[in-house]
A and B are shown apart, each in its own frame.
Chain A
Amino acid sequence: MAKNDVKLLGVWASPFVMRARISLNIKSVNYEFLEETVGSKSELLLQSNPVHKKVPVLIHGDKPICESLVIVQYIDEVWTSSPSILSADHYDRAIQRFWAAYLDDKWFPAMRRIRGAQGEERQELVDQVVEGLALLEEAFGKYSKGKAFFGGDQIGFIDIAFGSLLGWLRVTEKVGEVKLLDEAKTPGLVKWADCFCADAAVKSVMPDTEKLIEFSKFLMAKMKGAPPPKN
């Protein structure tokens, strides 16, 4: 199959789509970005992801690949030119997969609920997120070994999984008027966030925070009365 027949279905605001784009950029893969219209789903999306009907979907030749972390691993396994996204060492790969799963299963779901929550529930969520950041700070210290990224000199799997969530983290901080990523508590992560956002593979696909805030207001207004969004 032609390695250069690559399409990505996505939306600019989605952190999950961003993961796929960063990975393709790291591997210098040319791809066609097909932007979905907010509020409607294209035929191609419904056909290629009938189970979830969600972005991102990577379409390589005629094969659709769904779920952001599955896509990132697929990209790493198909385009084997350096740099690698996952470590060559089996144990390190397991650690990377663990933290990526933690971010998606625990940390991000708590973080995204902060804006809509109130009172005691809100405080509990903030505490959970801050606790999670402390764990991630410790992990960063351990795995970066003094370098800029969780992956060392280069962006790796954890960097992609976590860094893609920074945009929405900043939205939550601004709109929710709450400090989550704190220089005093997690100095390593604060520095890492700057390095991540400045990286060549990330810069062009990291959405502007103000634009995200506008988008989030638009979404909240649209969803008034509807059940809360699923992850």
Chain B
Amino acid sequence: MASSAVVTANQLIIMAELKLFRTWSSRFSLRVVWALDLKGIQYDTIFEDLSNKSSLLLQYNPVYKKVPVLVHNGKPLLESLVILEYIDETWKQTPLLPEDPSERAMARFWAKFGDDKVLPSIWNVFIKQGKDQEEAIVTAQENLGCVERQLTGKKFFNGETIGLVDLAFGWLANLLSVFEEVCGVTLIDLEKFPLLLEWIQNFADAPIIKESWPPRDKLITKYQALHEVYTSKEAPK
């Protein structure tokens, strides 16, 4: 893949052993793929089958037994946002976080908001039905409203270039429309969320980012199956 990052001899040594454990669809693993690719860093990829986890994965991540795991010179790094900060601190080209401490604090705040509030609230819309789903939609759109306001006057959450918060919200640019299609609900409409829709377009089409999207048809199949599992548990309302 093309990258304009200049790689020094020192960086080649640091890169010497970099392995990423991921799955084809994991939205958290994708963040790490993007971060490494944006910085022009070479690494090996190991695709995991979560129904049959490798002994290496279990050894590297005994606490959560999940992907992504980034192993750098034999040392495992866990949790996607923690990994992103590590990558940003270790390889300085194409910075993901700003220099100013208060701006860094804002970025960390919004990345956390995305994972703690936005993602679970949208997942609730996906798995629920009837009145529960209606309530879930209200909460999800409230959360999305907070996110929408962060894009005022900006192309990306990070400003002119993609940063940590953009990578953290990256799943909105592909997975959200999959959820919407599978459960038949439109969460992000042009009237309420024009900036988010524009960001989705810009992010999805950005160089490097667009090369890594998992195949949409496979995602639809996967989430259709999951949707059936969740909605068949519910009593009809």
Using a CB–CB distance below 8 Å, which chain A residues touch chain B? 51, 60, 63, 65-67, 70-71, 73-74, 77-78, 90-91, 93-94, 97-98, 101-102, 135
A93 in contact with B86 given A67-B112, A98-B78, A102-B63 (CB within 8 Å): yes
Count the B residues whose beta carbon is within 8 Å of the partner chain — how many? 22
Judge whether B109 is part of the interface by a CB distance below 8 angstroms. yes
A101 in contact with B79 given A90-B89, A93-B89, A135-B63 (CB within 8 Å): yes
B112 contacts across to A, CB distance below 8 A = 67, 70
| Chain B, range 75-134, C-beta contacts under 8 Å to A | 75, 77-79, 81-83, 85-86, 89-90, 101-102, 104-105, 108-109, 112-113
CB<8 Å pairs between A and B, sample of 16 = A51-B146, A60-B102, A67-B108, A67-B109, A70-B105, A70-B108, A70-B109, A74-B101, A74-B102, A90-B90, A91-B75, A93-B86, A94-B83, A94-B85, A94-B86, A98-B82
Besides A67-B112, A91-B75, 15 new A-B residue pairs in contact (Cβ under 8 A), listed by A number: A51-B146, A63-B102, A65-B105, A70-B109, A73-B104, A74-B101, A74-B102, A77-B104, A94-B82, A94-B83, A94-B86, A97-B82, A97-B85, A101-B82, A102-B63
Judge whether B72 is part of the interface by a CB distance below 8 angstroms. yes
Task: Tell me, in angstroms, the Cα distance from A41 to B206 when the chains sit together.
Answer: 42
A97 contacts across to B, CB distance below 8 A = 79, 82, 85
Task: Tell me, in angstroms, the Cα distance from A94 to B104 when the chains sit together.
Answer: 16
Top-7 shortest CB links A-B: A77-B101, A94-B86, A74-B105, A97-B82, A90-B89, A70-B108, A65-B105
A60 contacts across to B, CB distance below 8 A = 102
Which interface residue of A78, A93, A98 has the most chain B CB atoms within 10 A?
A: A98
Task: Tell me, in angstroms, the Cα distance from A67 to B105 when the chains sit together.
Answer: 9
**Nearest residue in B to A138 (C-beta to C-beta)?**
B62
Task: Tell me, in angstroms, the Cα distance from A91 to B72 when the chains sit together.
Answer: 9
A74 contacts across to B, CB distance below 8 A = 101-102, 104-105
B78 contacts across to A, CB distance below 8 A = 98
Q: Closest approach, in angstroms, between the C-beta of A47 and any C-beta of chain B? A: 15
A91 contacts across to B, CB distance below 8 A = 72, 75, 77, 86
A98 contacts across to B, CB distance below 8 A = 77-79, 82
A93 contacts across to B, CB distance below 8 A = 85-86, 89
A66 pairs with B109, CB closer than 8 A: yes
A135 contacts across to B, CB distance below 8 A = 63
Q: Closest approach, in angstroms, between the C-beta of A31 and any C-beta of chain B? A: 16
**Nearest residue in B to A96 (C-beta to C-beta)?**
B82
B90 contacts across to A, CB distance below 8 A = 90
Q: Closest approach, in angstroms, between the C-beta of A104 and any C-beta of chain B? A: 9
Q: Closest approach, in angstroms, between the C-beta of A8 and any C-beta of chain B? A: 14
User: Which listed residue (B86, B89, B101) contacts A78, Cβ 8 A?
Assistant: B101
B77 contacts across to A, CB distance below 8 A = 91, 94, 98
Q: Closest approach, in angstroms, between the C-beta of A114 and any C-beta of chain B? A: 20
A90 pairs with B79, CB closer than 8 A: no
B72 contacts across to A, CB distance below 8 A = 91
A70 contacts across to B, CB distance below 8 A = 105, 108-109, 112
Q: Closest approach, in angstroms, between the C-beta of B151 and any C-beta of chain A? A: 15
Task: Tell me, in angstroms, the Cα distance from A90 to B63 when the chains sit together.
Answer: 21
A73 contacts across to B, CB distance below 8 A = 104-105, 108
A90 pairs with B109, CB closer than 8 A: no
Task: Tell me, in angstroms, the Cα distance from A102 to B64 when the chains sit together.
Answer: 9
